[in-house]
A and B are shown apart, each in its own frame.
Chain A
Amino acid sequence: MRVSAGPSTAPPGPAIMITRRDFLKVATLTGGGFVLALDTRVAKAEIAPRGVRGPSVFTPNAWIRIHADDTVVIVVDKSEMGQGVMTALPMLVAEELDADWERLQIAQAPAARAYINPALGAEATGGSTSVSSSYRPLRVAGAAARLMLLRAANLRTGIAMIHLHTARGAVLLPDGRRLPYGTLAHAAARLRVPREPPLKSPRRFRLIGRPLARIDTPSKTTGQAIFGIDVQRPGLVLGAVRRPPTVNGHLRDYDARAAQGLPGVLALARVDRGLGVVATDTWTAWKALDAVRFHWDKGDYARLSTPAIRAEYRQAAASRGAIAERRGDAHAAIADAARVIAADYEVPYAAHAPLEPMNCTAHIHDGLCEIWVPTQAQTGVQITASRLTGLPLQRVVCHTTLLGGGFGRRLEQDFVADAVTLAKTVPNPVKVVWSRTEDMTHDFYRPYSYHRLIGALDAAGLPIAWQQTIVAASLMRTRDPSAIKNGVDPTAVGGAIGMPYRIPHIEIDYVERDTQIPVGFWRSVADSYTAFVKESFIDELAHAAGRDPLALRRTLLAGDHEQRRVLDTVAHIIGWGRPRARGQGFGIAVHRSFGTSMAQAVSVRIRSDRLCIERVVCVCDCGLVVNPNIVRAQIEGAVAFALQAALKGPITVANGRIQQRNFDSYPLLRIDEMPPVDIHILPGAAPPRGMGEPGVPPLAPALANAIFAASGIRYRTLPLPQALP
C-alpha cells in the first residue's frame, strides 16, 4: 500500500465550489495536488505528477484513478486524524473494485464539490459519519469502475462478460490469462459510467470485515508522516500569534519596537482580536511576541468566573426552559407520585487539547490562496480564505495534511484565518504555529452544563416520570441560528431527548445561557454530558427503589433489543451480581449515540481512600464492522478520552481568563492511569454506524456508578474525585 500525490480527478457535473474547468486549471497550476509524504519512496516518485488527466488515465469518478502503468490510486475525502479513514475508506472502494490491496496508492482529496459529506452538507469530517456516509457511495464508485473494466475487457477479447471475473487488480479470462486493470484503463475511460452497478453481497466481502493493518502506521513510526506543523514550502516563513488573556478581550494598542529590532523578524500585523508576527523561524517569532508590550482591552467579561457562571446556571435551572421533548405530563405525574427524587448534575468546560497545536500554512500567489492545513472542514477553509482575500472560492486551494488529533477542534477556522491574514503581509508562504498556551486558552470548549432532575416512582418502585432541565450554551447560536427550533438547540440536548427507557411521563427542557466562553464540538458533543446525567440518575432511581440497576435498565429497555443486548453482554463479562471484594464496586451504563449502541461496565476498588480503576469492559453494536482493528482502536481511544474528562481538568475561568495554560494545569491521562479495557463488538447488520464518538458517553456514568457501588457516595459533578473521604 502506497500513498501518492493528490488526485487529478475532476468532480463530475456542474460544481458550486469549484467548476470542473477551474479545478483542472488549479490542479495544473499546483502540480496536480498535494504530495502527502506518508511514504517517502513513493512521494519522491510522485513529486513529478503524471498527466493531470489524459486518455491513459481512467477516472470514472472522484475517488478512483487507474493509470496505464497499472497504478491504482484511491482518493480519501475525509481527514485522517487518527480514526483510520485512510485505511477504512479505501477498503470500501477496493472491495467492490477487486483491487490489489497491497499495491494501492492512497491520495488525500483536495477541496471540491464532489467530496461534500452528504451527512454534513460540506466537505468535512465529523459527527462519526465518515464510514457510515461513505459506505454506499464508495462501494458504488468501486463497483462502477469494475463494471467498466469488465466491459473494456469484453470489447477487447470478445468474451461474454458473464465469463469474465476480477481479482487483485485484473480481469481474469476463462483461459487463465490476466488483464491488469492498467492495460484496460484507456478503453475503460471511453465508456459510460453505470449509474447503479450491482454491489457485492456482504457474504462475498474479502476486505470488508478484516482487521487490516492501518496504511499510515509505518510512516508514523519513522517520523516521516507529514502533519500540518511539518509543512515545508520553498521560501517558507514562520508565524505566531498572541490573543488577549481574557475570553472576549481585544488588542487595543501595542508597542512592538523591541520586537521589530530582533534579527529574523519580518512583519507584524493584527489578526482577529490579537497580534501576529512573521519571522524566519518559529522560536524568533515566539520571542518577538514576548518582546511586544500589549495593551489589551479586557472586554465586557473581564470579571467572568466559574463560581459566577455556576451560580447563574443554577438559578437558570429553576426557570421554565424551552420544551425539547414532552411525553405525557411529567409535572402532573410528579405531583401525584408515591415518591419523588431530585438531583442536580454539573459537567464542566473541557478542552480538546489535541497534541498537535493549531497551525496552518497559507501562500497567496498567482491569483490563488493556497493552504496546507490539518483541518476537519475543507469547505470552511475555502470560505474563510475567500472572505479574507476577496478571492472567489475556486481560487482557494486547500491541501489537507495529516491531523495530530482533531476531536472537533479542527472544525474551527480561527487558525486558518491567522495564516491567511499573515500571508497577506509577505510574498512568502507563512506557517502559523500556535503555542500550547494559545491553544489551551483559546479553544472552543465543550460547553459547561447544569442539569436539574426530578424523577418520580410509582408504588411498585418503577419510574413513572422524568423531568430534566438542561442549562447550557448553544453551539449553533453563532454558527447557524436557524438550527435552533422553538428555543431548543438540538446540539445541546442530544442524548437526553429520545430516551430509550420506557417511562410514561418525560419532559426535557432547555435553557440557553451563553457566557462568552467560546464553545465548540467536542468528541461526542452533548452526549458527553447527557449520558452522564441519564445513566447516573437512572442508577439513583434504581437504588432509591431498592432495585438492581441492571435489572431496572433491562425492564425499562423492553422495547430496545439492541441496547438490551449490549447491556446484557457487558453485565455478563464484568460478572455483574458476583460477590465483590471489600472496597470493590461495579458500575454500568448504556447509551446510543451516532447510531451506535455502547454499554460499558467499570470495576473499581477503593484502597486507602484512593480510587483504583481495575477494569473497563465495552460492548457495542455499531452495525457492520468494516475494520475491527480500527473499531477497537477507536473504543480504546474513546475510553482514554472520556477517562481524562471524568477524572481530570476541568477548564475554569477567573477574571475573564481561562486558568489552564498547558498540560501541567490541564493534565491528560497518562499510561500508568490507563486501565485494562476489554472490547467486544457484537455482530451487527449493515450498514455501518458511527464509531469515533460513541465510546465516550457511557464511561463517566459507569465510573460514577461504580464509585457509588463501592463507597455509597453519589458524585453528580465531573470531574470525579480520585481521593475519596
Chain B
Amino acid sequence: MRMVVNGIERTIQASPDTPLLWVIRDECGLLGTKYGCGIGVCGACTVHVDHAPLRACILPVGSLAGRHITTIEGLSSDGMHPVQKAWVAEDVPQCGYCQSGQIMSAAALLARHRHPSDREIDAAMAGNLCRCGTYARIRRAIHRAARACDHDHAS
C-alpha cells in the first residue's frame, strides 16, 4: 500500500495490522514520534493524519492507504514552526520524550483555534501526558505561539 509521509509518497512493506507508529519508526526511520503506551492514552505518538491529531500507536497502517501523514520531522523543515519557536522560548522540555506529541497536538489545536483559552488548551492537550510536569510551560508556549501567529498574520 502507499501513503504520503511528510510530503513524500511511500510504499509500505509492513503487514496491514502494524500500527502506524512502528511503520513510521522502524520502516520510515522517523524517530521523533515516540512509543509510550500502545493503547492511545498517553499521546507520545501523536501525528497528523490529513491534519487531524491522531494516536499512531493504535492506527493499523492498512487503514491509511492514500492518507497524508505528518510527523514532528515534517511539521517544519527547520524547527521554526511557531509552536516549536514558542517551545524553545519557554524552555518547555525536561526529559523531552513526550514533547513531539505535545507539539503535534498543540499545532493541530492552533490550526483550529487561533486563540485558545486555557480551558480549550486543557481540553485539547489532556490526552498528552508529561511525566516531568511541564504543563504550565506548555500552556504558556501555546499562548505565545498564538500571539506569534497573530503577529505574522498582521504583518
Nearest chain B CB to A354's CB is how many angstroms away?
6
CA distance A95 to B93 in the complex (A): 24
Contact A405 B132 (CB under 8 A): yes
Nearest chain B CB to A712's CB is how many angstroms away?
30
Nearest chain B CB to A327's CB is how many angstroms away?
37
Chain B: interface size category: 35 or more
Contact A636 B133 (CB under 8 A): yes
Contact B88 A217 (CB under 8 A): yes
Contact for B129 among A220, A629, A670, CB less than 8 A: A670
CB of B25 within 8 Å of the partner chain:
yes
Residue of B nearest to A679 (CB): B136
Q: Which of B35-43, B48-56, B147-155 contacts A (4 or more CB under 8 A)?
A: B35-43
Nearest chain B CB to A662's CB is how many angstroms away?
5
Residue of A nearest to B99 (CB): A220
CB of A282 within 8 Å of the partner chain:
yes
Q: Which residue among B72, B99, B139 has the maximum number of chain A CB atoms within 10 Å of its CB?
A: B99
CB of A433 within 8 Å of the partner chain:
yes
Contact A640 B132 (CB under 8 A): yes
CB of A656 within 8 Å of the partner chain:
no
Q: Which of A118-126, A174-182, A221-229 contacts B (4 or more CB under 8 A)?
A: A221-229
CB of A436 within 8 Å of the partner chain:
yes
CA distance A640 to B130 in the complex (A): 9
Nearest chain B CB to A625's CB is how many angstroms away?
16
Contact A283 B19 (CB under 8 A): yes
CA distance A354 to B41 in the complex (A): 14
Contact for B34 among A355, A670, A674, CB less than 8 A: A355
Contact B38 A435 (CB under 8 A): yes
Contact A223 B73 (CB under 8 A): yes
Contact B131 A668 (CB under 8 A): yes
Residue of B nearest to A436 (CB): B37
CA distance A413 to B95 in the complex (A): 20
Chain A: interface size category: 35 or more
Contact for A213 among B88, B100, B136, B138, CB less than 8 A: B88
CA distance A357 to B88 in the complex (A): 25
Contact B22 A355 (CB under 8 A): no
Nearest chain A CB to B18's CB is how many angstroms away?
5
Neighbouring A residues of B32 by C-beta, 8 Å: 222-224
Contact for B26 among A82, A220, A283, CB less than 8 A: A283
CA distance A65 to B103 in the complex (A): 36
Neighbouring A residues of B44 by C-beta, 8 Å: 355
Contact A282 B84 (CB under 8 A): no
Nearest chain B CB to A667's CB is how many angstroms away?
8
Contact A671 B79 (CB under 8 A): no
Q: A222 with B72: in contact, given A436-B38, A636-B137 (CB under 8 Å)?
A: yes
Neighbouring A residues of B88 by C-beta, 8 Å: 213, 217-218, 221
Q: A664 with B41: in contact, given A281-B22, A670-B126 (CB under 8 Å)?
A: yes
Q: Which residue among B26, B125, B126 has the maximum number of chain A CB atoms within 10 Å of its CB?
A: B26
Contact B95 A356 (CB under 8 A): yes
Per-residue CB contact flags for chain A residues 630-672 toward chain B (1 = under 8 Å, else 0) read: 0001001111110000000000000000000011100011111
Neighbouring A residues of B9 by C-beta, 8 Å: none
Neighbouring B residues of A407 by C-beta, 8 Å: 131
Contact B84 A221 (CB under 8 A): yes
**Majority secondary structure, B binding face:** loop
Residue of A nearest to B25 (CB): A282
Nearest chain B CB to A536's CB is how many angstroms away?
23
Contact A82 B95 (CB under 8 A): yes
Neighbouring B residues of A219 by C-beta, 8 Å: 96
Per-residue CB contact flags for chain A residues 698-722 toward chain B (1 = under 8 Å, else 0) read: 0000000000000000000000000
Neighbouring A residues of B125 by C-beta, 8 Å: 671
Contact B128 A671 (CB under 8 A): yes
Q: A674 with B39: in contact, given A82-B93, A217-B92, A356-B95 (CB under 8 Å)?
A: no
Neighbouring B residues of A224 by C-beta, 8 Å: 32
CB of B123 within 8 Å of the partner chain:
yes
CB of A81 within 8 Å of the partner chain:
yes
Residue of B nearest to A354 (CB): B131
Contact A223 B129 (CB under 8 A): no
CA distance A406 to B32 in the complex (A): 19
CA distance A629 to B89 in the complex (A): 12
Neighbouring A residues of B14 by C-beta, 8 Å: 281, 283
CA distance A670 to B105 in the complex (A): 14
Nearest chain A CB to B74's CB is how many angstroms away?
9
Nearest chain A CB to B113's CB is how many angstroms away?
15
CB of A214 within 8 Å of the partner chain:
yes
Of residues 12 through 66 on chain B, the ones whose CB sits less than 8 Å from some CB of chain A are 14, 18-19, 22, 25-27, 29-39, 41-42, 44
Of residues 83 through 101 on chain B, the ones whose CB sits less than 8 Å from some CB of chain A are 84, 87-88, 91-100
Residue of B nearest to A227 (CB): B97
Per-residue CB contact flags for chain B residues 109-123 toward chain A (1 = under 8 Å, else 0) read: 000000000000111
Contact A637 B132 (CB under 8 A): yes
Neighbouring B residues of A226 by C-beta, 8 Å: 31
CB of A484 within 8 Å of the partner chain:
no
Contact A662 B39 (CB under 8 A): yes
CA distance A590 to B126 in the complex (A): 31
Neighbouring A residues of B84 by C-beta, 8 Å: 221-222
CB of A683 within 8 Å of the partner chain:
no
CB of A530 within 8 Å of the partner chain:
no
CB of A677 within 8 Å of the partner chain:
yes
Neighbouring B residues of A669 by C-beta, 8 Å: 129, 133, 135
Contact B121 A671 (CB under 8 A): yes
Per-residue CB contact flags for chain A residues 453-496 toward chain B (1 = under 8 Å, else 0) read: 00000000000000000000000000000000000000000000
Q: A82 with B94: in contact, given A238-B26, A283-B18, A668-B131 (CB under 8 Å)?
A: yes
Contact B92 A402 (CB under 8 A): no
Contact B93 A221 (CB under 8 A): yes
Contact A671 B39 (CB under 8 A): no
Of residues 232 through 271 on chain A, the ones whose CB sits less than 8 Å from some CB of chain B are 232, 238
Contact B97 A404 (CB under 8 A): yes
CA distance A226 to B87 in the complex (A): 18
Q: A222 with B95: in contact, given A640-B135, A671-B128, A674-B136 (CB under 8 Å)?
A: no
Neighbouring B residues of A198 by C-beta, 8 Å: none
Residue of A nearest to B79 (CB): A222
Nearest chain B CB to A608's CB is how many angstroms away?
18
Contact for B37 among A220, A222, A663, CB less than 8 A: A663
Nearest chain A CB to B45's CB is how many angstroms away?
11
Nearest chain A CB to B129's CB is how many angstroms away?
5
Neighbouring B residues of A629 by C-beta, 8 Å: 91
Of residues 608 through 634 on chain A, the ones whose CB sits less than 8 Å from some CB of chain B are 629, 633
Contact B87 A355 (CB under 8 A): no
- The 8 A-B pairs with the shortest beta carbon distances in the complex, nearest first, are A223-B32, A640-B133, A404-B97, A82-B95, A220-B96, A82-B94, A223-B72, A672-B122
**What would 9 A/B residue contacts be, using CB atoms closer than 8 Å?**
A81-B95, A82-B132, A216-B96, A227-B97, A232-B29, A354-B97, A405-B97, A629-B91, A663-B129
